[in-house]
Structure formats: C-alpha cells, structure tokens
C-alpha cells in the first residue's frame, strides 16, 4: 500500500495561521507536504480572540510555498456567512474546486460560567459552532456538484464537560451533532463528514494556562504532529467512514461514541418509578453503542418524512 497523497486536491484549513506549535498550522503543513493545494485561513486574532497573540496566515502560506508546496492565505472570518463564502470562494477562484475542509478555527476564553462576558459567549459560539455551520453550508453545493467531499470538524473532549469551558464545550458538542447529520445527508453525494477532538500542546494551551502538572504533561507527551495524521486521513479520498467522532493525542487515535443502558421500562411509567429504578436506569453493565446514524437513516419502517420545507 502506497503513501496517501493529496495531489490535485484543494484543502481549506481554517485557523491555520498560528505560531508554532499550532494545530491548524501543522495540519496545513502536512497537507502541503503530501501534495495538496492549501488555503491557509486565519482571521489573525489569536487563540483567545483578543489579538494579544496574533496569527499570520500569510506567513504560514509563504512557508508552505517556500518548501515547494502550493498555498494561498485568506484572512476572512468563518463566523459569518459572508466570511465563509469568501473563504470558499478563494479556493474556487484560485484552483476551481474545494475537495476538503478542516474546520479548525476557534477561540477559547477560559472562565467560570458566572464570570464569562456576553461578548465572549457570542464570540465563542459564533466562531466554533456557527463557523462550522457556515463553512459546511457554503461548501456543500460545490461538493454535491462534484460528487465528492471530505469535511473534518475539529471538536473537543470538552463537549462532555470541563471546568472553565462551559461555552466552549457547548459549541463543540454542537459541532459533533452537526457532523452526525451531515454524514447522513452526504452519503448520497460522496461526502464524508467526521469530527476529531485533538489533545496537543499548542500556543493556545501555553497562552491561556498557568504552569501546572497538566501543562508539563502536554509539553512532554502531546504534540501537534501526533494529531495531524488522523486529521489528514479523515480528509483523504480513501477515508471509508463518516459520521464518527475520533480523539487523537500522544500518538493514539480512538473512536468515542454514545452508549445506551438497558434502562427500565414500564408503559405506565410514574415519577416514582424513575426514582425507585434510577440505579437500574444508570447501570452501564451491558450498555450498547448507539445505532449508526447513517444506517439508521436508511431504515424504511420508521423513515422520517417531513413536509416540504418553506424558507423563512
């Protein structure tokens, strides 16, 4: 089996202009090294959105070109429909197509829920969740027309909960939900959509955290280069899966999924039944993975058939 390459493929990586070690920057570099034409997108405001630690899409793009690759820089925001349109259009205008997108852009102000500002709440949701939605929505018609596409939405383990990460985690959970449904719709068009939660030391990690055992652990064991191969595979034409949530860190790649417990059943369920059988409801022994979203959508007996959509 030969090397997986991206010759003649056009890949957009958002949030790819950060200083090393930046996950987006490392993703873009690997794609370029494997022959992809890369749109290096970054608004430039840095990991906390405040512009204290600037990002430079033009610098990264030039590095890729100097190393023999093909790349252009783009500094539009992904947080608006117009910005996302400009990002995708940059790929279309330059190379006439878009084959894969890595939705990596994001900000992560760390704060307790009772102290985070309204501005930071909006900014976090707009960049992460809406940024993914807009980028996918704008690129979708191009991929549908081509009968091919790969989308990798970068999520986070924070979606299952984390102190100081309430809004960030909520947005990241929305990204995973988006990918599950897009995978179903993309199946008929050759579009694969997956999510990946990376664990790596980055400039964002060091910028927003004080020294701790956590930071030392990441400095010694979790490197961006160990995550990039998993992202690149999910963006490759040989990727055979869709609608999956992966985690990657320290050289390990694994699949994380939901499970259903056996639970408790009573057709005449009462409030007291829930109280009295809570232990049974929560018992994880014998829990089963949730049904595959793509396969479930193909079931005919209980097929979901909405009325024709009327745009607002």
In a domain, 48, yes or no: yes
Q: Is the domain of 107 the same as that of 133?
A: yes
Q: Helix or strand or coil: residue 60? A: helix
From the list 93, 176, 94, the residue with the least C-alpha distance to 136 is 176
Residue 56 forms part of a structural domain: yes
The pTM for the full model equals: 0.93
Per-residue pLDDT of the chain (312 residues; tens, 9 = 90+): 799 999 999 999 999 999 888 999 999 999 999 999 999 999 987 666 565 566 799 999 999 999 999 999 999 999 999 999 999 999 999 999 999 999 999 998 889 999 999 999 999 999 999 999 999 999 999 999 999 999 999 999 999 998 899 999 999 999 999 999 999 999 999 999 999 999 987 767 665 666 677 777 777 888 989 999 999 999 999 999 999 999 999 999 999 999 999 999 999 999 999 999 999 999 999 999 988 878 877 765 666 777 888 898
Judge whether 302 lies within some domain. no
Q: Which residues contact 217 (CB under 8 A, 6 or more apart)?
A: none
Residue numbers annotated as active site: 168
- Where in the sequence is the domain holding 266, given as residue range(s)? 260-297
**113 assigned to some structural domain:** yes
User: Same domain, yes or no, for 91 and 218?
Assistant: yes
Task: Tell whether 134 and 109 lie within a shared domain.
Answer: yes
Q: Is 66 exposed, middle or buried (0-12, 13-18, 19+ CB in 10 A)?
A: exposed
- Residue 305 maps to a domain: no
Domain identity same for 269 and 247: no
Q: Which tokens go with 35? A: 């022959």
Structure tokens at 53: 């630690």
**DSSP state at residue 297:** H
Judge if 248 and 264 occupy the same domain. Answer: no
**DSSP β-ladder status, 245-249 and 252-255:** antiparallel
User: Is residue 115 helix, strand or coil?
Assistant: coil
Say yes or no: 150 and 267 in one domain. no
94 and 212 belong to one structural domain: yes
For residue 274, being part of any structural domain is answered with: yes
Asked if residue 187 and residue 70 are part of one domain, the reply reads: yes
Instruction: Supply the CATH number for residue 31's domain.
Output: 3.40.50.720
Q: Cα–Cα distance between 39 and 197 in angstroms, integer?
A: 22
Q: Are residues 285 and 248 in the same domain?
A: no
Q: How far apart are CA 152 and CA 150, in angstroms?
A: 7
Report yes or no on 167 lying in a domain: yes
Separate counts of helices (H) and strands (E) for the chain: 12, 10
- Say how far apart CA 240 and CA 183 lie, in whole Å: 12
Q: Rounded to an integer, what distance in angstroms lies between the CA atom of residue 180 and that of residue 178?
A: 6
Q: Are residues 143 and 232 in the same domain?
A: yes
Examine the domain organization and report whether 74 and 99 are in the same domain: yes
Q: Please give the tally of structural domains in the chain.
A: 2
| Strand pairing category for 70-74 and 100-103 | unpaired
Is position 304 within any domain? Answer: no
Pair 273, 227 in one domain: no
The whole-angstrom separation of Cα 35 and Cα 107 is 29
Are the C-beta atoms of 116 and 168 separated by less than 8 Å?
no
| Separation of alpha carbons 283 and 23, rounded Å | 38
Query: What DSSP string runs through 123-182?
Result: HHHIIIIIHHHHHHHHHHHHHHHHT-EEEEEE--GGGG--TT-HHHHHHHHHHHHHHHHH
């Amino acid at each position: 089996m030969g090397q997986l390459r991206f010759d003649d493929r056009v890949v957009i990586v958002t949030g790819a202009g950060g200083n090393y070690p930046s996950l987006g920057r490392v993703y873009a570099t690997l794609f370029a090294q494997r022959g992809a034409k890369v749109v290096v997108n970054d608004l430039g405001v840095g990991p906390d959105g405040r512009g204290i630690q600037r990002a430079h899409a033009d610098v990264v793009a030039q590095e890729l070109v100097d190393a023999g690759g093909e790349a252009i820089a783009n500094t539009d925001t992904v947080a608006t429909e117009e910005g996302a349109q400009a990002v995708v259009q940059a790929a279309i205008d330059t190379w006439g197509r878009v084959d894969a997108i890595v939705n990596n852009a994001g900000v992560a102000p760390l704060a307790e829920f009772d102290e985070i500002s309204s501005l930071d709440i909006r900014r976090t949701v707009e960049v992460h969740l809406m940024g993914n939605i807009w980028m996918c929505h704008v690129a979708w018609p191009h991929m549908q027309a081509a009968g091919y596409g790969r989308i990798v939405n970068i999520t986070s383990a924070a979606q299952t909960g984390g102190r100081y990460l309430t809004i960030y985690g909520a947005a990241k959970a929305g990204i995973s939900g988006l990918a599950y449904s897009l995978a179903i719709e993309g199946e008929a068009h050759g579009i694969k959509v997956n999510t990946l939660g990376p664990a790596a030391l980055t400039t964002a990690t060091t910028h927003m955290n004080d020294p701790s055992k956590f930071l030392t652990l990441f400095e010694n064991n979790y490197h961006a280069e160990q995550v990039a191969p998993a992202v690149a595979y999910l963006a490759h034409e040989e990727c055979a899966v869709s609608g999956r949530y992966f985690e990657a860190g320290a050289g390990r790649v694994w699949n994380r999924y939901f499970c259903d417990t056996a639970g408790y059943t009573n057709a005449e369920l009462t409030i007291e039944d829930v109280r009295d059988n809570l232990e049974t409801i929560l018992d994880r022994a014998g829990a089963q993975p949730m049904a595959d979203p793509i396969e479930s959508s193909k079931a005919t007996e209980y097929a979901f058939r909405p009325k024709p959509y009327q745009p607002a």
